[in-house]
Copies of this chain bind each other. A is one copy, B any other.
Amino acid sequence: MKLIVAIIRPDRLSEVLERLYRAEVRGLTVSRVMGHGGEVDQVATYRGLTVKMELQEKVRLEIGVSEPFVDVTVRAILESASTGEVGDGKIFVMPVEHVYRIRTGERDEAAVTPAGKLS
């Protein structure tokens, strides 16, 4: 089991979700985050002040997958989230010891397989 954490641009979310769907990745969790990397900073003006916004809006995806899906998922994200400009984000693949499905208490593989697949 792995947990894939990806930081992407908000405006690529649509494409990434679609591509993941096609790759048969059905479960995921999304949150809004702010990121700092090598991007050119945005500038804001507030009355007398000019301020730099060093943190850019990003979206964070968290996807628990079983081993065979790891590469598929990473590739799907790499392909759909990339624009070629600095600031596209990162993917982290992290080890997971156990996954539970809260509804049923199922564990590991069973917990990340979509319900439909079981029946």
A residues whose Cβ falls under 8 Å from a Cβ of B: 2-3, 5-8, 17, 26-38, 54-55, 58, 60, 62, 64, 74, 77-78, 81-103, 105, 111-112, 114-116
Residues of B within 8 A of A34 (CB): 29-31
B26/A38 in contact, CB under 8 A: yes
A28 x B38 contact (CB < 8 A): no
Are the C-beta atoms of A35 and B30 separated by less than 8 Å? yes
Which residue of chain B lies nearest to A115 when distances are taken between CB atoms in the complex? B38
Q: Given A38-B114, A90-B102, answer yes or no on A60-B97 (Cβ-Cβ < 8 Å).
A: no
Contacts of A77 in B (CB 8 A): 102
Apart from A2-B97, A3-B5, A31-B60, list 20 A-B contacts with CB within 8 A: A5-B62, A17-B36, A17-B54, A27-B35, A27-B38, A29-B60, A30-B34, A30-B55, A31-B33, A38-B115, A78-B105, A81-B102, A83-B103, A88-B101, A88-B103, A90-B99, A90-B102, A91-B98, A94-B95, A95-B97
